[in-house]
Amino acid sequence: MELDKCIVGRKSIRSFKSNDVDHKLIAECLNAARYAPSAGNSQNWKFIVITDKSLRSQVVKLCDDNDWMVSAPVLIVVCSDLSKITKFYGSRGEALYSIQGVAASIQNLLLKAHDLGLSSCWIGTFDEVELSRILNIPGDARPQAIICLGYSKLDEESIGREPLDNFVFYGSWGNRLDNSRSAFPLSKHIDHHLEKIKDKIHESFVKKK
């Protein structure tokens, strides 16, 4: 899949079909995840793949008001292995770099899932202590996210995004350049490009029907 189309087309899905996900597809998602950047190439991510229905139910009970998660045939608990990263970077490694690396790996995973025709949702609300207990996660590792993976049951619309210029400053916080004076008017070019990508996604959806 074209990269821009994959990035723009990815959505957080909260209703899944009961279809199982082939283990080869799960492996492809995890393989993409491991190519994410990390501080000092620490590769501090660990993944616990859960397909057993009973264990999935136990995990879902630890996630506040997210009962819909039980419909996902695959849960992937993404953890940060703190042992190596704290050895080299100390408290900053634990508080910041470990999170950055895991987050980057998750984004790779989500994009690859979408590329393969799978749907996903990134969950960050759960009882960390109890989750660590039932999954035997050691003390020098920390669960940071749960990824729901499967096939979407509903055709959900993409949530709109704010204009790019809302997020971009030049030189210092809060400094926005007037597009009429800017040599790089971001939003005009990128918004037009995104519209073209959305049109392609819509065309693909119509063809599938």
Say whether both 144 and 180 belong to one domain. Answer: no
157 within domain boundaries: no
Q: Lowest-pLDDT range, 37-46, 121-130, 167-176, 184-193?
A: 184-193
What pLDDT digit, counting tens, does each position of 122-141 carry?
999 999 999 999 999 999 99
Angle subtended by helix axes 82-92 and 98-115, to nearest 10: 130
Say whether both 109 and 181 belong to one domain. Answer: no
User: Is 69's pLDDT higher than 50?
Assistant: yes
Residue with tokens 């995990």: 59
Q: Which CATH number do you get for residue 98?
A: 3.40.109.10
The pLDDT of 66-91, averaged and rounded, is 95
Q: What pLDDT band is residue 180 in, cutting at 50, 70 and 90?
A: very low
159 within domain boundaries: no
Say whether both 7 and 58 belong to one domain. Answer: yes
What pLDDT digit, counting tens, does each position of 19-28 carry?
999 999 999 9
Predicted local distance difference test score (pLDDT) of residue 204:
62
How confident is the prediction for the chain on average, in pLDDT? 89
Q: What pLDDT band is residue 206 in, cutting at 50, 70 and 90?
A: low
Say whether both 98 and 180 belong to one domain. Answer: no
Predicted local distance difference test score (pLDDT) of residue 177:
72
Residues contacting residue 169 through CB under 8 Å, at least 6 positions apart: 175, 176
User: Radius of gyration of the chain from Cα atoms?
Assistant: 19
User: What 3-state DSSP class applies to 152?
Assistant: strand
Say whether both 63 and 120 belong to one domain. Answer: yes
Residue 41 to residue 59: CA distance in whole angstroms: 30
Say whether both 145 and 168 belong to one domain. Answer: no
**Among the three residues 125, 150, 175, which one is the final residue of a domain in this structure?**
150
User: Is 1's pLDDT higher than 70?
Assistant: yes
Say whether both 58 and 120 belong to one domain. Answer: yes
Say whether both 37 and 101 belong to one domain. Answer: yes
Predicted local distance difference test score (pLDDT) of residue 159:
77
Instruction: Quote the pTM value.
Output: 0.85
**Paired tokens of 143:** 């669960």
- Domain extent for 10: 3-150
CA distances from 95 to 37, 62, 170, 199 (A): 17, 23, 28, 41
Predicted local distance difference test score (pLDDT) of residue 161:
86
Say whether both 91 and 181 belong to one domain. Answer: no
Q: How many domains does the chain have?
A: 2
